[in-house]
């Protein structure tokens, strides 16, 4: 017998003569006296590896091949319980087998998988309509065993929902259960009791046949929130963004019942709490979580801040050492700043500072959660970011910030990083233009204007925008071009006009409804995955520059081939092409086309000049783009954090006084459907423009929606 066997002994109450073979099948029961007129017969030993049966030839039942082998019969059991049921039906209908009355112990369940298969199997016997007609002729009464009363209640509830009848519970406690069909006049009854001296429950009587017909009403009395939680728990583990409306659809499709939306919503909330812990527990565990970060990832910064006498959560700041090291030793000196609202039980906003690696990939540096998204929170976040960089390096590099430039961010950057440049993220700017004027051509021209190399080119594109929409041109001109257009911007952006905050926000979109620690762990897990993958990927790179930078240089070399180069002195060149000439200075790494300054990599004119004087092109590329820098970015390991159950064993944060507990913020999620997108402060404060019709000279509509002609036609009649 293997260790994961399930032993099922079937006892017949039919008075048949005792034969030697009966006792040989189950030697442990041979002490029973023949005068009891009870025959004990072990019909089969159910296992995932072996199936011991009475002697019979090779047979294939429902796709299950059973063969004689020494010591018993071998059965290929990669099958469900319905396959076992077919084997069982074959055996009890075979000649020489007595009619069966009920199951009786011993039942030995060695592991959880055995228990699950056993429960599934016995419910196939009891509730499957496909086999009920077979058992009517064989069984006067079927007695099934359940591990405890809780399991029994769960199974009877599932059967009621699956077979579309409702239960009216007459009596239910720890030792007995009595229920009947809730439909008036239906004779169906069930009675179950606890067995003496063991926790097992068994059905004593199952009377009557349903005459009530299929329950077609909306909802189901047994489809409680707890039942829905048990039903969706595994699905929630796979997809934490499993929506209540999807829960409704799946339950209706599988069980044919309709439950209220609020019930599905409550079930999801309770299911997430069961899997990930409650929101309140998440705040209480924050000090211990911060200690675990600093213990497992030395050099990391993890701090929780509270407010008020009752220790309410206010802010959380986290920066892993691997991220800090990677930014200071390999990333571009370019930081994107942004926030995304959380959708858990309590209000909050996730603030983040992300960077770009040598290959243009997203690199999160630091992140925080604040109770309120306001100017004070942004000032605090930039202050913590400045302290982080000041602590880890002797001189903070010349930085450029990218953001949606809401007022709180602008003021905070100006105050905490006075020497840094600050650019308006072009993605946010073009999204605002698209939302305001709903014209794709305007958006296209705005991108062209932003990428213009010279001020003349910029003014030409702005003139085109004014031709398309004077209102849009006026709206755009209210934003200084020094904040977004390349010809006027003072800082270095290395070709990045847009922040990568939206890409980072995708990491946490599905986790926004979870408790605060789970949001942090979602980011942490993603960081571990990305660091490992990128570290391994870079080991295969045999070039000097990262793949994206190598592609840029290869394209520049290809374009430079027809150029004519005239050398003025050691560092200055004139490069002639078919339609223009450009001045290149390899000493200051400048070209009159300004591509070299914009991207940090030699343009085609610079490449032509460098090739003409036999210089190494790679020596004139910014070191940020080298493979060596990329590998240095991901050289530090992002270590995992142990499960919550292990925290107290390692370093439990003292919580002797109740006042030390971190309590949730007072602000809770308001009723109603939340907004899908976060609005910028500038969007909220900006005065709406007034549209003007060129046909009737009236305000409030465009030419395309003007109704003047229609009204004139009506007046003629």
**The pLDDT value given to residue 690:** 56
Split at pLDDT 50, 70, 90, the class of 199 is confident
**The pLDDT value given to residue 64:** 43
What's phi and psi for 194, nearest 5 deg?
Answer: -85, 140
Residue scoring higher pLDDT (293 or 309): 293
pLDDT per position as a tens digit, 465-496: 999 889 999 999 888 888 898 888 888 889 88
pLDDT per position as a tens digit, 558-573: 999 999 999 998 899 9
Split at pLDDT 50, 70, 90, the class of 586 is very high
> CA 240 to CA 234: how far, in whole Å?
10
Encoding tokens for residue 356? 């770009």
Residue scoring higher pLDDT (509 or 679): 509
| pLDDT at 528 > cutoff 50 | yes
> CA 293 to CA 641: how far, in whole Å?
7
Please state whether beta strands 564-567 and 572-576 pair in parallel, antiparallel, or not at all (unpaired): antiparallel
SS3 track for 109-158: CCCHHHHHHHHHHHHHHHHCHHHHHHHHCCCCCCCCEECCHHHHHHHHHH
**The pLDDT value given to residue 697:** 63
Residue scoring higher pLDDT (197 or 61): 197
Per the DSSP assignment, residues forming a β-bridge with 68 are: 73
Per the DSSP assignment, residues forming a β-bridge with 565 are: 575
DSSP H helical ranges for 395-515: 407-416, 426-437, 440-450, 455-468, 470-477, 501-508
- Ordered DSSP codes for 265-278: HHHHHHHHHHHH--
- Answer whether 634's CB lies under 8 Å from 327's CB: no
> CA 522 to CA 367: how far, in whole Å?
12
Question: What is the distance, to the nearest Å, from the Cα of residue 473 to the centroid of all Cα atoms in its chain?
Answer: 41
Name the most confidently modeled range: 84-93, 143-152, 512-521, 693-702: 512-521
Domain boundaries, the chain: 1-138, 225-276, 282-528, 547-625, 690-717
Burial of 268 (0-12, 13-18, 19+ CB in 10 A): buried
- Three-class secondary structure of residue 168 per DSSP: strand
What Å distances lie between residue 52 and 1, 11, 286, 609, CA to CA?
Answer: 9, 17, 55, 85
- Ordered DSSP codes for 654-706: P--SGGGSPBPPS-BPPSSPPPSSPPPHHHHHSPPPPPB-TTT--BSS-GGG-
Residue scoring higher pLDDT (517 or 395): 517
Name the most confidently modeled range: 46-50, 494-498, 617-621: 617-621
| pLDDT at 402 > cutoff 50 | yes
Split at pLDDT 50, 70, 90, the class of 498 is confident
| pLDDT at 260 > cutoff 50 | yes
Encoding tokens for residue 321? 């050492």
565-582: b or e for each residue (b if 16 or more CB lie within 10 Å)?
Answer: beeeeeebbbbebeeeeb
| pLDDT at 505 > cutoff 80 | yes
**The pLDDT value given to residue 377:** 93
Q: Which residue has the tokens 């899997």?
A: 275
**The pLDDT value given to residue 669:** 58
- Ordered DSSP codes for 288-351: HHHHHHHHHSTT-EEEEEEETTTTEEEEEEEE-HHHHHHHHHTS-SEEEEEEEE--SSB--EEE
pLDDT per position as a tens digit, 91-107: 444 444 333 333 333 33
pLDDT per position as a tens digit, 422-454: 999 899 888 888 888 888 888 999 999 998 888
**The pLDDT value given to residue 578:** 85
């Amino acid at each position: 017998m293997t260790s994961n066997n399930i032993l099922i002994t079937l006892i017949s109450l039919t008075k048949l003569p005792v034969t030697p073979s009966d006792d040989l099948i189950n030697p442990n029961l041979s002490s029973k006296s023949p005068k009891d007129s009870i025959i004990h017969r072990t019909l089969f030993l159910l296992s995932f590896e072996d199936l011991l049966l009475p002697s019979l030839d090779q047979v294939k039942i429902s796709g299950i091949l059973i063969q004689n082998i020494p010591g018993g019969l071998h059965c290929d059991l990669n099958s469900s319980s319905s396959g076992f049921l077919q084997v069982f039906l074959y055996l009890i209908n075979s000649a020489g087998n007595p009619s069966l009355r009920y199951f009786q112990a011993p039942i030995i369940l060695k592991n959880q998988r055995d228990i699950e298969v056993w429960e599934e199997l016995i419910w196939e016997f009891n509730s499957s309509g496909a086999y009920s007609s077979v058992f009517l002729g064989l069984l006067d009464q079927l007695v099934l065993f359940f591990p405890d009363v809780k399991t029994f209640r769960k199974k009877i509830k599932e059967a009621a929902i699956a077979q579309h009848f409702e239960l009216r519970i007459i009596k239910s406690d720890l030792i007995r259960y009595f229920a009947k069909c809730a439909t008036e006049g239906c004779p169906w009854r069930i009675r179950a009791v606890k067995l003496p001296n063991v926790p097992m429950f068994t059905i004593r009587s199952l009377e009557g046949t349903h005459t009530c017909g299929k329950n077609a009403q909306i909802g189901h009395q047994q489809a409680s929130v707890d039942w829905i939680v048990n039903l969706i728990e595994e699905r929630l583990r796979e997809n934490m963004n499993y929506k209540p409306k999807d829960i409704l659809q799946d339950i209706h499709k599988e069980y044919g019942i309709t439950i209220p939306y609020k019930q599905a919503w409550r079930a999801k909330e309770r299911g997430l709490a069961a899997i990930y812990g409650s929101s309140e527990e998440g705040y209480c565990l924050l000090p211990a979580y911060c200690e675990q970060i600093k213990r497992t990832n030395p050099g990391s910064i993890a701090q929780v801040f509270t407010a008020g006498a009752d220790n309410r959560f206010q802010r959380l700041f986290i920066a892993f050492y691997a991220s800090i090291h990677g930014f200071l030793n390999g990333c571009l000196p370019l930081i994107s700043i942004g926030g995304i609202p959380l959708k858990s039980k309590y209000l909050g906003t996730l603030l983040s500072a992300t960077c770009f690696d040598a290959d243009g990939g997203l690199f999160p540096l630091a992140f925080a959660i604040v109770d309120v998204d306001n100017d004070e929170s942004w000032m605090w976040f930039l202050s913590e970011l400045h302290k982080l960089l000041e602590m880890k390096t002797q001189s903070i590099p010349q930085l450029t910030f990218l953001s949606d430039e809401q007022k709180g961010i602008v003021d905070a950057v100006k105050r905490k990083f006075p020497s840094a440049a600050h650019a308006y993220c072009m993605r946010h700017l073009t999204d605002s233009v698209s939302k305001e004027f709903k014209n794709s051509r305007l958006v296209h021209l705005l991108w062209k204007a932003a990428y213009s190399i010279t001020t003349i080119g910029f003014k030409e594109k702005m003139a085109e925008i004014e031709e398309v929409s004077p209102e849009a041109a006026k709206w755009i001109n209210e934003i200084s071009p020094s904040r977004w257009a390349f010809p006027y911007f003072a800082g270095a952006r290395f070709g990045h006009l847009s922040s990568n905050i939206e890409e980072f926000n995708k990491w946490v979109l599905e986790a926004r409804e979870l408790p605060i620690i789970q949001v942090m762990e979602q980011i942490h897990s993603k960081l571990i995955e990305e660091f490992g993958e990128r570290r391994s990927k870079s080991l295969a790179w045999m070039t000097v520059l990262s793949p994206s930078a190598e592609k840029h240089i290869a394209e520049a070399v290809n374009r430079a081939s027809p150029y004519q180069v005239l050398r003025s002195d050691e560092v200055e060149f004139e490069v002639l092409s078919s339609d223009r000439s450009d001045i290149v200075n390899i000493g200051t790494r400048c070209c009159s086309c300004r591509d070299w300054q914009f991207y940090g990599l030699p343009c085609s004119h610079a490449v032509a000049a460098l090739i003409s004087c036999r210089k190494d092109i790679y020596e004139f590329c910014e070191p940020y783009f080298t493979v060596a820098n990329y590998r240095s970015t991901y050289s530090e390991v992002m270590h995992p954090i142990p499960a919550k159950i292990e925290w107290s064993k390692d370093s439990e944060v003292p919580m002797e006084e109740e006042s030390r507990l971190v309590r949730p913020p007072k602000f809770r999620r308001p009723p109603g459907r939340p907004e899908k997108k976060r609005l910028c402060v500038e969007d909220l404060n900006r005065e709406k423009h007034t549209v003007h019709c060129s046909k009737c000279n009236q305000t409030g509509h465009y030419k395309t929606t003007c109704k003047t002609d229609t009204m004139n036609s009506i007046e003629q009649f």
